[in-house]
Amino acid sequence: MATRRTLLQGALATLGLGASGMSAFAATERKGKPLDILVLGGTGFIGPHQIEHALARGHKVTMFNRGRTAAGLYGNRVETLLGNRDAKIDQGLKALQGRRRWDVVIDNSGYVPRHVRDSAELLRGRVGRYLYVSTISTYALEQGGVFNENSPLQPLSDPGDERVTGQSYGPLKAACDESVREIFGAAATVARPTYVVGPGDDTDRFTYWVDRTARGGDVLSPPDASETLQWIDVRDLGAWMIGLAENDTAGVFNAASRPAPWSDVLATLATAARKSVRLRGPTQELLDLFRIELPLVATGTPPWMIGTAAAEATGLAVRPLLTTGKDTLEWWNSLPAERRANPEGWPTPQQEREALERLRRI
C-alpha cells in the first residue's frame, strides 16, 4: 500500500522536482540574500511545494512538526524540529524555545487559535515576518456577495471549543488570522486562499472534475453552470508565498484565480478528454433525489466572488486551468488503483447513471 511519503514524492516527481530540488518554476533569478525559513508543518499538501520552491531559490528551510507524516521526504536538505502545535501534548513547542532566529516563519498548520497564538507569541522578536496561511472561509460566504480583504470575518461563537468541523473551520481560522495580525502587526502577512488544487490534492474535489471530464461521455454539470468557480494551483500559491517572504511583503491577501463560469471550467477540462464530452445540467431537485453532491458546487447559498487585485499587485499569477487539469490528471493516474477506486465525496457510478438516465427521459 502506498504511504503518504510515496504519494508526496510522486506528486513532486510530476512537477519535475528531483532530488536536487530544482524546479522549472524557480528558474528566475532571486534577488537578495538567502532566507532562513521556518515552516510550521511542511509535509501536507501546500508545504512541499513551498519548500521545494524555497530550496530551489537557495533558501535554508527548517520544519517544525510531529515527524509522523512523510518523515525523510526531503532527506538532509531540510532540518526538522520535532514537537506539537499543542503546547499541552508531548514536547509541545519546546523545540522552538530559546534564542534562535529565523527571517520568516510560514504557518501552514495553524487551525486552533490557542495553538497559533502560542507559536506567534513564542516567536515574536525572533522572526522577521510571520506568514500565516488562512482561508477565504474566514468570510461569511454563505451570505453571498463580493469579498475583499477588508470584508468582516466570521466570529467565533465559542472560543473554548477547539473542535475543527465543517461549521467551525472558518471561524477558527478567522480567530487564528486575527491573532497573528494582532501579535505581529506590520510584520504579519496573511494569505487567504480559495480552493487549493493541483497534483497532490487529497481532498479529491477538483480531481473529480478532471477525472470525470477526461473519461468523456455525458457528464453531470452544476445545476447553474453560469455560477463561477475560483481556485488556486498549489504550485502558484507556494511560489507566490515564497515571493512574499523574499520581498518582506506585509498585508492580507486573497489568493485565487479570477472567477470563471462552471461552463467555461468544464469546457476547458473537456479538451483533454479521451472522447467527446456532453455536459448535462440537472436540476437541484434531481441531484437531491439521487443524493448527489457535486464536489466544489455550492448549493442553497447566494453566489459569492473573491477579490484578487491586492494579491495580483504583489505578483500572484495563476497558470492556465488546462495545465493544472492535465498535471492533476497525470498525478491522479499515477496513484495506486486502490486509491483511485476509493475517492472522497464523488458520486457513485450508480448514482450518476441513474441521474443521467432520468435526464435523458426529460
Q: Which three cell numbers stand for residue 277?
A: 464530452
Other beta carbons within 10 angstroms of residue 362's beta carbon come to: 8
Residue 275 is predicted with a pLDDT of 86
Query: Can you give the pLDDT at residue 3?
Result: 40
Looking at residue 73, what is its pLDDT? 82
Q: How far apart are CA 70 and CA 6, in angstroms?
A: 8
- How do the pLDDT tens digits run along the chain, 362 residues long? 444 344 444 444 444 343 333 334 444 555 579 999 999 998 899 999 999 999 999 999 999 999 877 777 888 899 999 999 999 999 999 999 999 999 999 999 999 999 999 999 999 999 999 999 999 999 999 999 999 999 999 999 998 999 999 999 999 999 999 999 999 999 999 999 999 999 999 999 999 999 999 999 999 999 999 999 999 999 999 999 999 999 999 999 999 999 999 999 999 999 988 889 999 999 999 999 999 999 999 887 899 999 999 999 999 999 999 999 999 999 999 999 999 999 999 999 999 999 999 998 87
List of domains in the chain = 4-201+229-261+298-320 (3.40.50.720)
Half-sphere exposure for 359 (CA within 13 Å, toward CB): 22
Q: Which three cell numbers stand for residue 355?
A: 441521474
pLDDT score for 65:
92
DSSP E strand stretches across the chain? 36-40, 60-65, 79-82, 102-107, 127-133, 145-147, 188-193, 195-197, 217-220, 228-229, 231-233, 251-255, 260-261, 277-280, 304-306
pLDDT of residue 4: 38
